[in-house]
Chains A and B, each alone.
Chain A
Amino acid sequence: MLIAFASTVVFFGTLAFLITRAPGWDNFKAYFFDWELYRESLPEIASAFLLNVKIFLIAESIILVTALALAILRSLPGPVFFPIRALAIVYADLFRGLPTILVILMLGFGMPALGVEGIPLDPVFWAVVALVLVYTAYVSEVYRAGIESVHPSQDAAARSLGLTRFQSLRHVVVPQAIRRVIPPLLNDFIGLQKDTALVSTLGVVEVLRQSQIIEAARFNGTPYLVAATLFVALTIPLARFTDWLVARDRKRRLAAGVAQ
């Protein structure tokens, strides 16, 4: 404990010393650490950040459902379901291969430009659609790993009671699968939280765009520091929570191993 503390102090002390001795340090400091501007711009940037949080929450709740549906489609056995499985695989491969920013740009600028009657014009709408499309592909892989980790004898036991394929998934397989994949799920959601900043490419005034606007007006990068603080304030608790869950799960499994 003491050693950890001492080495931490020495490490960061040395790092701070080296950085502050860099030739451009004074310029850097003036550009990023204007505390006056920090306080001044915080309310405006924070309220723009609420849009990111909103996009994140809406996209996440949709993804949780669509990704599970996609994972279940991919787990359907037998030749009858081959076309469905194949489609699901093509979808997952395609959207995991595309850079998120490209999907956002193509949908955000492309769909409204189609000029089809009744199609939503709001870029935020299309940004959410793009994030859902991309992250559904990732998250469904996480679910799928969980479903495959549940031993087939569990499904056999459920089916032998006369439960249908769907009932077995719903009551026996999926609940066990989800328990096992909560940590990797949360990891993907940390990624999603950060990727909401990509929506700025559509000209939507969310946190990054708002920071850019203030930066351009004041020739000072402190707004970026404000935005960074906001993201970190949201993702760090989530990351700690994920680690805590992983540790708890490992402890539980070890305890179960000893008991046997």
Chain B
Amino acid sequence: MTETALRIEGLHKSFGKLEVLRGIDLELAEHEVVCLIGASGSGKSTLLRCVNLLEPIDAGRIVLHGEEITAPGTDVNRVRRGIGIVFQAFNLFPHMSVVENVTLGPRKALGLPKAEARARGDELLARFGLAAKRDDYPDRLSGGQQQRVAIVRALAMQPRLLLLDEVTSALDPELVAEVLEVMRELAAEGMTMLVATHEMGFARDVAHRVCFLDGGAILEEGTPAEIFAAPREPRTRQFLERIVEAGRL
């Protein structure tokens, strides 16, 4: 676990006058799972969107597998093909069936022939217990199923890095487990993942490292044992106490 998958250096990002990210430095090794925790508005989603080049950054660099992807003139479409992102609100395409959702990227962005894309999609759908749903439209699925389809859609691009943005927050409590299970499986397989989450149980059990984001900066980072058992910063402690009160740890 020495190869660097992702390196973020001095990343700044503002929306108008509001500075949302104030100098983020973060490194992910290949096969590493890093969880971003922090209060609402601390900048977790913005950080993930910057890594996927969905938001232009104001200062700093992002280096992916040795290539500076924030350099001017970078082909953003090519970069995005190698990074999967899954959103809190699923964002499935409502006018396409499950299998069409999953094969759109491989067919149009990777240029795979339809049959090959379908074979790849069907295999992934079967692996995550969604084979029976392949021809259904998203509005016929439960939230948990929709989010699993969204994960499969990202995986179908065979990304080397997966970004997950609070993928269980929009789900009913009884549906959270099935999605977390998928994430555990991916982590066990060695997928490199940067995960914004409120699921402290998941962070504690699965993450190699946890970063506490506060006001657009990483205030504290360490192994789950360090962060959860003995946080150094008072603000981290406060945040974790509130999480415990809410019954999420």
Contacts and interface: CB of A to CB of B under 8 A. Distances in A.
Q: Looking at B77, B92, B153, which has the most chain A CB atoms within 10 Å of its CB?
A: B77
Interface in A127-156: 153-154, 156
A162 interface: yes
B54 A163 contact: no
B242 interface: no
Q: For the side of the interface on A, what is the size category?
A: 10 to 19
B107 to A, nearest CB: 9
Interface string B82-126: 011101010111110000000011001110000000000000000
Interface in A108-124: none
A96 interface: no
B104 A163 contact: yes
Contacts of A256: 139
Nearest to B140: A259
Interface stretch (A22-30, A48-56, A172-180, A183-191): A172-180
Contacts, number: 59
Nearest to A172: B93
B91 A153 contact: yes
A158 B54 CA distance: 11
B52 interface: yes
B152 interface: no
A256 B138 CA distance: 12
B89 A171 contact: no
B91 A154 contact: yes
A153 B87 contact: yes
Interface of B: 52, 54, 77-78, 80-81, 83-85, 87, 89, 91-95, 104-105, 108-110, 139, 153-154, 157
Given A156-B91, A162-B105, 18 more contacts: A154-B91, A154-B93, A157-B91, A157-B93, A158-B93, A159-B77, A160-B83, A160-B85, A161-B108, A161-B157, A162-B81, A163-B108, A164-B77, A171-B104, A172-B93, A172-B104, A175-B95, A176-B95
Those 5 A-B pairs whose CB atoms lie nearest each other, nearest first: A162-B81, A161-B105, A162-B109, A157-B91, A162-B80
5 contacts: A156-B54, A160-B83, A161-B104, A161-B105, A179-B95
